Each structure stands twice: as C-alpha cells, then as structure tokens.
Structure 1
Amino acid sequence: MDNSFAPGIGRRLDGWPNRDINPGAIIALSPAIDDAMKKVLNAWGAGKYDPRSNIDGLSKPVVIPPAFGLAGIHRITYTGDGEDIMYWNRYVAVSQMGGLGSVSEPRLNISITNGTEDLVTSKLPALQAYQLSLSAPPPPAGSFDPVAAVRGRLVFEGAGRCATCHSGPAFTDANSGLHPPVDSMAEPETPSYASRSATKQYRTTPLKGVWQHPPYFHDGSAATLPDVVNTYNTKQGLGLSSGDIADLAEYLKAL
C-alpha cells in the first residue's frame, strides 16, 4: 500500500516488494518450531526470506524481489532456476506454503507432493498472466537530476561497462545466459546462495524501476544506488571518478 490514507492503508502497489514484512519472525511464531530454529528465523530481518531453508536446513535469506517489470523475461529468480514465473509460483505454492499439488526439481533432488488432489496447477497460468501485466513504476517527479542522468547514461554504456550485461529494453541478459558466482558483487558468501540453487549461477537483475526497491544485490548488502556503483567500481577496477559514480547513480534512478 502507498499509505495514502493511513499507515498500511491506501492504494495498492501491485508487484512492489514488501520491505516491511518479516517472514522469519512470522514463521518463528509457530509452536512446531524449536528454539534454535526460532533464533535463526528471527535473524533474517524484515524484507528478507530464505526459500531453501526448509529444503536444505541452511540459512541465507535474500531480499524479496519485485514482481513488476517481468514481461519478456524468462528467468525471473535471482538464480534463474526456471524458464517462467509459473516454475517459481509452483515451487512456492507447494514447497513453501504447503499447497495441495506437486513440485519436482531433479537438479536439487526435490520431489514434493501434498495431498491427493492438485489445487495448484490450474491457478498458475492466470497468476503468471497477472504478474506479467505489472509494469515497473516510473521514477517520482523530482527524484533524480536529469542533466546528471544524461551524463550517467554515457558512463553506463561506456566506462562503467554496465550495458555489457544490463542490456536491452529490460536491462538484463537473463534470457540469453546466466553468470558464475564470481560475477556477483555479493560473493563470496557463506553459504553461497547460488550453490543452493538449481543453476548454481546468477542472472543479471533487470533495472527498470530499480529506484524503488533498495537494498540491492540479492543479499541486500548495498543500501543505495551509489553504494551499488561504488561496489562495482571497486571490485571491477573500473577507475570511475566520484563524478562518474554520482552521475551513474542518477541515471539508475531514472530507469
């Protein structure tokens, strides 16, 4: 909600990631969970969730991603495990929410069936169609410097080397390939989130509407867009000046 009437009450913001909800704390309220696991869950923090924890017993929560701006993008998760949204919706419905139905992922040795009837599959096409209809929100008026953004685009396409992977109208090469963990600005991490996925790799995150959903990187380690640019500049040895970094951040805010 946009809180236009009161906190938590207003117009719907469809597809916007909920950065206030604390899934770990909610799950920890279950009397079926022991104290040790409650401690783990309560450490996840607001706006984060680990969709593998109940599968492999590890804990590495990731930032809840937006569900907007996915039209034309086939690999929609951080690690690009599936070829469409229905893949992930099925996984969540059955393995995370206990929905009646089945999910199978041989690459992770997952085969789960809940109940004797399938109440999940028939709902997946309509849910996917709805999600694909959600456009990324445009930046609010006055939220970026348009002159600096023009300069930042030149950095994005040139010295910053951003357009190499953040390519095309969706600013991602996810449909053509994935990237090894070493390419991620959040790696190395223990446990590696990619190592717990089916692909063992990462997709390039789409950038449309990126102004809306800090923190950034799958682990939320970059609080702001300037932090993102600084991280790339340092780890990739780009040699960008402070002015280049500021301009590039303004361009990202404009997407």
Structure 2
Amino acid sequence: MDVRDSTRSHRHRPTLLHIATTAIIAAAGMLALVDCGDSDNDNGGSNTGNSNGNGGANCPPNTTSGTAGSPSAGGTSAAGGSGEGGTGGAPQPDPFMEQVQARLEAGRQTFRYDTFGDEEFWGGELRLHDAIKGETLGGVGPGVSPTAALELGLKVDMDSLPAEVVAGIQDGTVDLNDPASTVALLQLNAVVGVTGFFDADGALTSMGIQCALCHSTVDNAFAPGVGHRLDGWPNRDLNVGAIVASAPDLSAFATLLGVDEATVRTVLNSWGPGKFDAELILDGKAFRPDGLTAATLMPPAFGQSGVNLHTYSGWGSTTHWNGFVANLEMHGKGTFYDPRLDDPVKFPIAAANNLGHIKAEEDLVTGKLGDLHLYQLSLVVPTPPPGHFDPTQATAGAAIFNGKAQCANCHVPPLFTEPGWNMHTPEEIGIDDFQATRAPDNRYRTTPLRALFVRETGGFYHDGRFATYADVIDHYDTFFNLQLTPDEKLALTEYLKSL
C-alpha cells in the first residue's frame, strides 16, 4: 500500500481527549528531554503521503543557559557588569535547538505520513484500494468495513477524528460495518500507516503505506484499536499478509517470485498477525524447513539510540534498513545500494532483479532518511504499566540476571544488548540457522530487552518460537546448564517483565 498527495486539506478539529507528546532531542552526543503539549495537529496538513505536512513543532523555543547578568542568560548587569543583580532580559532562542526540533518534526511527519511514492505500487499495480472500496463503491469484493479493518489489526488515530465523527461512532450513526466508513476514515487521514488518494469527486483512486503501519499502534483510549498513536511500538495485531493477499492483482509478486498468484496468496496468508517476511523477495524462501512460515515478528522502532545493528539478523544500521524497507518492501521511489544482494546463491531473486542497485528517476526517499533516523532515535523506551510485574521478585531477578544466569554477558545494561558488534552465531545461542543464513552475516543480533512487555503478544525470538518468558529461560537454562531453581526462574521472569 502507499500514499501520495491529496488535494483535500484537513483542518484540525477538537477531539474529546488531548495527549502530551514527549520527544528526545539527540544532538552533540547528548539527549535533552523536552515535554510539551501537542494537540497532534500534524496530520500531514493535507491528506498527502509525500509532503511533510504543515504540523509544526509545538514546543516553545529552548533558551540558553547561564547565570543572571551573563550574555548567555540574556541578562543585563545592574552591578557594574559584575553579573550580580541582573534584571534578566528576554530569553533568546537557541538556533541550534530550534533546528533540531524542526528536524524531529520533519522526521515524525515522514514516519507517520510519507509514502515515498509507493502508491504507484500498492494502488497502481496491486489495486489494493479497490479491495477496500468493495463492489458497491466501484471496487471489487465485499470491501473492508471499519470493523473488518480493526479485525485485521489496522489502527485508528482518534486525534484525527472530528468531534462529529466521534459522536457518530458513540451514538451508532456512523456505520462501522460499511466500507464507505473506512473510505471516510482514509479521507480524514485517520488510519494509522495508510493514506488514501482521492479525485475531485471524493472517490478513492489509490492508496499507500508508511513506516507507522507496522511500527506504530494506539493506546485504545477510545475503543479497542482506536486511540492516541504510540509511535515505535510494533503492531503485533496487524495481519499484513492477509491485507496484501486481498489485493485484486498480485501479478507483480507472482512475476518476481516465479510462481502463480494463488501461491502468493497462500504464502501471504500463512504469516499471521504481527509477522512479515522481509527476505521473501530476496531469496524466495517462504517456509522454514519445519514447514512453518518464514515470516518474522515485527520489531519495535523505539530504543534505538546507542544500539548498533538493526533487525534480528543484523542487516545493518537503522539508516541502512530504513532505505532497504522504503525502497524494497514499501516499494517507494528512491535510491538504494547494497552489493551484498548481488549474491546469486544467497539472494537469487534479488540478484536476478538487481535489487541491490535501485535508482528511481525522482528520489523521494534519500533526502528524508536523516530526519527519519533522528525521530526514531527520539522514541523513548516505554515503561511497563503499574501492576505488570512483582517489584520484590524483580529485584531478586536482577541479581540473577547479572549473576548466575549470565544474561548480562550479552544483554549488557543499560542497552541490554552488546555495545558495538552485537552478533552471535546460531551455535552460540543454541538455535537453528535458518533465519541467520537469510542475512549477509549468517548470525543473529542480540536483541535489546527493554520494554519486552509490548512484545508479549506473538511470542519471543525473531519468529515467536518461545511463547512465554518461561520458555526462553528454560531454553537457556538447558543450553548453558545454568541449573536455575524454579524460584530463580520466577524471579528472573519478573525482572524481564520490569525492563
């Protein structure tokens, strides 16, 4: 799916609730926390995927530090220039911090609303928007109602809903079983990670996707699946495979993979909620040797500051992976270079289709990667909700984590991964090599453990093979012969839940 510019402007309307947003400003090797009220009037300005929108930063300008009477404080000295007893002039804006704040806002706009031109693929080639409309609106099939969309794991940004729509949902006058209501939500830019394109008559003509589709969810403040955005949280409810499988035309994937469209649909429907197979278009391996899907769980996009490699198998830095996904997975229009994909043995499909050497006529990706990365670095790790873990047990578990269980040897606090080259062979961690061999380095990255609570849905490890914390602990207890007692395992579980 993809999104591009719409001619319809969207003016912010009052909503029932207000959320404060917090951004971490990363600059000069340090992080400065800025907490500011934000009415979330940043819906991309117009319903457009490729523009940055008109949502400016809402924080007041940062001021420079210094004592009263010093130039950095903007004060004037009333004591013969001694700096004491200054009257304190008006605070002066810090141009550097203003620039950083502007870049953070640009990065957030990209993360939330930019399609990188991928609407030409998801709408133009796959015609996915026709599946949303359904036959009654000039599309195909039954269409996708809001109820069906929520069942597929799509989320709705309540801060994009005008007051009258909120009231209509509450009193039942908005029909949540009608695909026309989904189209209306797209016109409001309210479907997280999806943008619709409309003609002058208001008809849905195309659609696209953004980073936020898979790497954002909502807090369910209004209803399940409807709430304030939680950028960076993996959407473990999202059934990407089923959504793509509903497209009327899958010939683009069938041609690339060298199979028929029915086979493509079978593969896509095997993924299940919260999973995506990024390597399928590179190597064509749709299933693991045990017959299960080769798709992996969607990772979080928060907590990347200080972490070296990205993805479960360490494909590269965050900026590399952003370019990879924007060009190869989202099918945006940009420039991407990775000669490792020229390997015809490891990556036969990528090599045959020159996927490591992408250069669009107009690059809609590369110029946005820097600000996007900065915004991702600003996404702080969420803390577990009250009551999610036993504090006393967690304290005992911390000692086990750092001691007998040896977890901290690799999951080094406070990053909870190794600083530097955080990669291990399959033999070192006691699992099969299937997913590792689908990546250039044939290894697995040490996954950062912070905010595991948001990843409890779908299981742990790259493919969800361990359903519970206890399953993970039992694996390492056996593999490393740790000889943990049941009480120690329980305490360690509570500590992991507390991170």
Query: Smaller-chain TM-score range?
Result: over 0.9
The equivalent of 1:209 in structure 2 is 451
Bigger Cα displacement from structure 2, 103-112 vs 87-96: 103-112
Kept in 2, the 8 Å contact 1:79–1:202? The answer is yes
Superposition deviation, residue 235 in structure 1: 2.4
Kept in 1, the 8 Å contact 2:394–2:491? The answer is yes
Whole-angstrom distance in 2 between the partners of 1:24 and 1:103? 25
The letter of the residue matching 1:6 is A
Whole-angstrom distance in 2 between the partners of 1:68 and 1:115? 29
Superposition deviation, residue 55 in structure 1: 1.6
Q: Say whether 1:90 aligns with 2:323.
A: yes
The equivalent of 2:267 in structure 1 is 40
Q: Which runs of 5+ in 1 are unaligned?
A: none
Q: Which of 414, 438, 441 pairs up with 1:169?
A: 414
Whole-angstrom distance in 2 between the partners of 1:229 and 1:81? 26
The letter of the residue matching 1:89 is N
Bigger Cα displacement from structure 2, 102-111 vs 243-252: 102-111
Q: Which runs of 5+ in 2 are unaligned?
A: 1-217, 252-260, 287-293, 343-354
Q: Say whether 1:68 aligns with 2:302.
A: yes
Kept in 1, the 8 Å contact 2:250–2:264? The answer is no
Q: Say whether 1:194 aligns with 2:428.
A: no
Q: Say whether 1:101 aligns with 2:101.
A: no
Whole-angstrom distance in 1 between the partners of 2:318 and 2:415? 16
Kept in 2, the 8 Å contact 1:80–1:202? The answer is yes
Q: Say whether 1:239 aligns with 2:483.
A: yes
Superposition deviation, residue 157 in structure 1: 1.0
Q: Say whether 1:116 aligns with 2:380.
A: no
Question: Between Structure 1 and Structure 2, which shows a larger proportion of strand residues?
Answer: 2
The equivalent of 2:282 in structure 1 is 55
Whole-angstrom distance in 2 between the partners of 1:79 and 1:188? 13
Superposition deviation, residue 114 in structure 1: 5.2
The number of equivalent residue pairs is 251
Query: 2:395 is paired with a residue of what secondary structure?
Result: helix
The equivalent of 2:379 in structure 1 is 134
Kept in 1, the 8 Å contact 2:339–2:357? The answer is no
Query: 1:13 is paired with a residue of what secondary structure?
Result: strand
The equivalent of 2:227 in structure 1 is 10
The letter of the residue matching 1:86 is T
Kept in 2, the 8 Å contact 1:99–1:114? The answer is no
Whole-angstrom distance in 2 between the partners of 1:182 and 1:41? 30
Query: 2:324 is paired with a residue of what secondary structure?
Result: helix
1:23-44 CA deviation, whole Å, 9 max, x = no partner?
Answer: 1112222322410121111001
The letter of the residue matching 1:244 is E
Superposition deviation, residue 16 in structure 1: 0.6
Whole-angstrom distance in 2 between the partners of 1:85 and 1:225? 27
TM-score, normalised by the number of residues in structure 2: 0.49
The letter of the residue matching 1:40 is V
Whole-angstrom distance in 2 between the partners of 1:90 and 1:73? 18
Superposition deviation, residue 9 in structure 1: 1.2
Identity %: 43
RMSD value, Cα: 1.5
Whole-angstrom distance in 2 between the partners of 1:76 and 1:179? 14
Query: 1:233 is paired with a residue of what secondary structure?
Result: helix
Superposition deviation, residue 174 in structure 1: 5.2
Q: Say whether 1:225 aligns with 2:469.
A: yes
